[in-house]
Amino acid sequence: MSRLRVGVIGVGHLGNLHAKMYAQIETSELVGVYDVNTERAQSVAAEHGTRAYASVEALLHDVDAVNIATVTSTHHDVAMQAIDQGKHLFIEKPITATIEQGRTIVQRAEAKGLRLQVGHIERFNPAILALEPYRIKPLFIESHRLAQFNPRGSDVAVVLDLMIHDIDLILSLVRSKVVRIDANGIAVVSDSPDIANARLQFENGCVANVTASRISQNKMRKMRLFQTDAYISIDFAQGLAEVFRLVDEQEQSATPTMLLGKIDQGKRKRLIVYEQPEVREGNALKRELEAFVHSVKTGTEPAVTGHDGLQALEVAQEILAMIQSQRITAIE
Ligand code: NAD
């Protein structure tokens, strides 16, 4: 089967890594790169043994699919150009700067029968993949994504830069409608919120308490899920998942289990067990882009669809609007 011809548009920090991956993935061919910064495009092209194109149009002519890793404010315009030329798309997160823009590209891509995947990379974190054998039905979620300050990404609020990773993941785990949002946050070093907290309430009763900061002293990327039969702790930075489960005495587990205790009350006698599901080694970015290539080649639905990207953006924008309305009240 022939390899998917891919071009990377926007080869800054992330686009450079994307280009590197497409050059390595066996099912794709890195045809070339394009960046408004010509020097940058040339140096990245040289690094990965590919061509730097002088225009988006020329690159679009030669590829089956594009990978858009430009600054978020330009995602919409670049994506529309690619869609008009009938090219499949991988777009970095957040899908677009505004909901209206996101809706337009999702609808246009669908109308043209094009595959569109959004770069919510945590779905491919080895710790999340390790939880696949488990029944995930959280009723309370606590998540923390704390980073040290880095000017890159601070052109948008921390909600759109960092919190959106957890929003997408939580929406994919809970699979229920968000019925209420409470949020607060403050701008400390930039003009937009640098630290934010949101409480999402879902139709099925689940509540998620989500915190994101880019002005913390120490990094942390953790999520804790509580459900009626388990407590699951995920450390994205370490790629580690830990599961504390209540199981019937007769249940056999495929995972090595440590017995922590026994519950004798009630009709069912249950054990409390601790498990560390096996984490498969591997690069999350490579897995993410391999999944995109696979989806285009097989015509199957992408692992993270345009609708998923749009839904995460809608929730993020609602959180942001709530924070901003509170800031106006505070000034008054
Ligand atoms: P960056 O500033 O390092 O790179 C952006 C590049 O895009 C620059 O080289 C710039 O010259 C180029 N560019 C800007 N407008 C362009 C246009 N119209 N056409 C072609 N090139 C253009 O930024 P970055 O950190 O690499 O972020 C890029 C995107 O990736 C953003 O949408 C960001 O939100 C996203 N991102 C995602 C993650 C993740 O974990 N998935 C992490 C970081 C950034």
CATH number of the domain to which 31 belongs: 3.40.50.720
pTM: 0.93
Q: Is residue 311 part of a domain?
A: no
Ligand 1 atom 8: residue of nearest CA:
12
Query: 208 forms bridges with which residues in the sheet?
Result: 141, 200
How many Å lie between the centroid of ligand 1 and the Cα of residue 282? 24
Query: Is residue 152's pLDDT more than 50?
Result: yes
Ligand 1 atom 40: residue of nearest CA:
121
Q: What is the per-residue pLDDT for 329?
A: 47
232 and 182 part of one domain? yes
- Cα separation, 37 vs 102, in Å, equals 25
- Cα separation, 88 vs 73, in Å, equals 20
Residue 62: its H or E element: helix 56-62
- Cα separation, 50 vs 32, in Å, equals 5
Phi, psi for 307 (deg, rounded to 5) = -60, -40
How many Å lie between the centroid of ligand 1 and the Cα of residue 33? 13
Q: Is residue 256 part of a domain?
A: yes
How many Å lie between the centroid of ligand 1 and the Cα of residue 152? 9
- Cα separation, 167 vs 209, in Å, equals 10
Query: Is residue 85's pLDDT more than 50?
Result: yes
204 and 142 part of one domain? yes
Band of residue 174 on the pLDDT scale cut at 50, 70, 90: very high
Question: Using a 6 Å cutoff on CB, does residue 71 contact ligand 1?
Answer: yes
Indicate the SS3 state at residue 330. helix
How many Å lie between the centroid of ligand 1 and the Cα of residue 70? 4
Give the model confidence (pLDDT) of 284-316 as tens digits. Answer: 999 999 999 999 999 999 999 999 999 999 999
Q: Is residue 312 part of a domain?
A: no
Range of the domain at 295: 4-119+284-301
CA angle 85, 86, 89 (to 5 degrees): 105
Find the length of the chain.
332
18 and 56 part of one domain? yes
Question: Using a 6 Å cutoff on CB, does residue 37 contact ligand 1?
Answer: yes
* Total of domains in the chain: 2
129 and 207 part of one domain? yes
Residue 50 near residue 43 (C-beta atoms within 8 A) = no
Question: Using a 6 Å cutoff on CB, does residue 14 contact ligand 1?
Answer: yes
Q: What is the per-residue pLDDT for 101?
A: 98
Ligand 1 atom 15: residue of nearest CA:
70
Q: Which residues contact 191 (CB under 8 A, 6 or more apart)?
A: none
CA 171 to chain centre: 11
Structure tokens at 84: 């008009």
181 and 250 part of one domain? yes
Closest-lying ligand 1 atom to the alpha carbon of residue 40: 9
Q: What is the per-residue pLDDT for 221?
A: 97
Question: Using a 6 Å cutoff on CB, does residue 74 contact ligand 1?
Answer: yes
Q: In whole angstroms, how far apart are CA 322 and each of 1, 159, 182, 252, 316?
A: 50, 11, 8, 47, 10
